[in-house]
Structure 1
């Protein structure tokens, strides 16, 4: 990005005191300016104070901290990756704290701020962009927000898209919307006011932009489209005639349910869902080596499957499509295909983990942390599993080693929350992993240290229950569109051992003993009202792990 030309300063193109319109600052004279920046190969020169530049720019802090640069003198420094007028503004901001931002120079200024790591300039650009989202700038700002993972700008573009979704659907660049935003919009109640056939057609148009890459998301998106509200003629003539729908088994199932609801409306609940296709909680009983299921709609438990394997230590369960994956401390992974009621042992984890943690994001299973069996020390490593390829892939390790933490996914990110460090101390630390960055970054920490807590994700908000190091029974909630965690007190004098979301409800499994040695109870928690409503549903004799099959 920057190159140096080691020449005598007397031969520099910089001319102190020269009245140059490109010279960045007029309130500071050229006296004592000991560095010259050249903005392009036309040799436009900008004298600056090196010490001030180092304080203001993270790039130049790194540039001058390299050991190879110690005790060396430099001539002009060429800045080739920053648009010259944006460079002038950044340098002027360094002296005056003033920026002249408008829609025409916003992108160049933002790119310059990121390259030079001038975070004051970047914050000004974000503030301007977040308050000036318009139809002609929306798509550029959304791509800028997504590429930089800027939460404030992501939130601003989401709110704009939500209020203008019907206009966006007819925009020529609509197909450029990212999948995370599509899901957010389809799930929101405001979008439900738009005629359902328009929403369906918008989904199909979005998929058709790059069908080979996006068709894998069609069934997920159609789950948020109220197909049962479409006229039966439209279902038969348009939806049934769409190859993308008919070539996907899950989509065909959604279409069949919608047609069935039109033919047999008396078998459909008030919210339009088929009473025979509710979410089902599936619990793996580690003591008896069988699987039972709980139907929240009927309130009944029943035998679900029998397994002929067992794990040493604790295990975890996650659901991908219609399959439940159970993973143990020895790295073994078993898949239960609920349609065929068959088990299959899958590829073993790349690393054996004591007390592992897992989350699902975009059909992939993510695992991080845990303990090393030989030393009982916490781990930093992370990996993910592709169920379609039956393949584990190593990921960048977390910044800090942790075990007994929570792992949850929301809005396209995986969050590693709390846990124990190598000193056996509970931590507040929260790290976030995203596919675009490929690495972990620190985000807002918990209000208090938590170890052995459990998590559930409802409407993109992450709920953290209990933890053996918390002085009281409390819940912390993170909404990724709002910075920081909020605390909710829940009056359950129990130790939380598992949590999951079924439909609109959060269910938790609790034990009255902190060591988890006594009988377990299933509770339903409702956060929609004040105070929080807690209802004990049933007793559980044995418990291993729990997951939810989506309808």
Structure 2
């Protein structure tokens, strides 16, 4: 006779035991422990309670008084809740609803009944709403419900505009508020919504929340607010007036808003766009030439968050080599270059369009251009159209006033120079190294005072350098040399070597400030064109690759950091492997 598979018999035996225990419980037969809840008595079986609950198993195995006396007193549970637990344990029935789900979950946690805990969590997940997601999130955290915490947290982030108006929001503690406003996935169209929510929370209990609000202030992304909101709503707040640290954070934000020429140098954890914001910070690559030595007119934007390249509006013409560029606010300006020496173009980030500006009075290439105040300054360079070789290396400094779209010749360099780099420090433009009229590489450092319109020479570089790149990080000026040496200018205008990028030998590369570090892109060495983007921390001499795959091969190009509306980041670009 063929034997039956064992599994069906196990199930039959299990059901028989289960049904019999339920019958014995209701009949009160063979019970060996009395559980008393709120003066109500329940006759139960130790073995049944122990089989489903680690709490009771530990109790009955420990030799505690309850183990010998056969009586257990439970204080922190309601009578009706324990009835529901016994129904679940003995009959498999789960009497769960919105009114008792939280209490059952708490009881399942206390008694360590895993299956009941799972069922309660599943029920609560199905009933998470905008109105109760904060309560569900707090409940989930205290009772180890990972999936419930995930679902409720998603609701908080996705529906924050509605959630922050709920009553539960007023009762968040400081740590919970910090966790919410710090999340980059918070779905808000602007940072004013976040500030409004935090300020309402503070005003709900200002006496007890003043210190907490002061700490939270550091995590509000105030530089991203509109100027009107910052000056009219934030700065006059009593909390700001009374608290020095709050005033410092507000001052930082006002500086960001009122100094558009210095925004690329700005480094603060508060200048960080959320994933769902309309705006995004990108690396922009303009023109130059590629690995085939072809001049290109494309304009590319690299999304740091999405790690993807996008095509922006192309240049209206090919700039050729050795043009200069700078950022003012959220617009890009490009000047000169081998194709048209007196050219000035403006890229409008609000429309993704290029426009022509009045031509420079003195055409040039291999020059420097920076933004200071409300003007652009073009310094030195090389003019191919000059009759005599000695006159081709320029000392002229021209100023372009952006609002009036007009040029003036505002001064001269102390020493004519080209192929140099420049940086702004306290309204002074410092020009580092370069090539002199006699083709010699120089270590001269000179600065132009934009107020006095005078130029002076200061302490020299440790050694001559040309085609270097100046980067301002945290108000510190670094000069990245073609051999990888990093020089730093101190407060006394002395320049010293402070670090070195290993295995670095390139020129015509891009270098910008990025999150307190120096970002290097592209460049050339001999006939080789680099295809990489990495950051370098000069304090610890550590490099970190941002992108090595799908990177355009570029040299003699412009690299800048810009804030763009995401509607212009639509057309993805792929590049061939190196």
Q: Give the TM-score normalised by structure 1.
A: 0.49
Q: Give the TM-score normalised by structure 2.
A: 0.47
Q: Of the two structures, which has the highest relative contact order with CA contacts closer than 8 Å and spacing of 6 or more?
A: 2
Instruction: Please say which structure displays the higher CA radius of gyration.
Output: 2
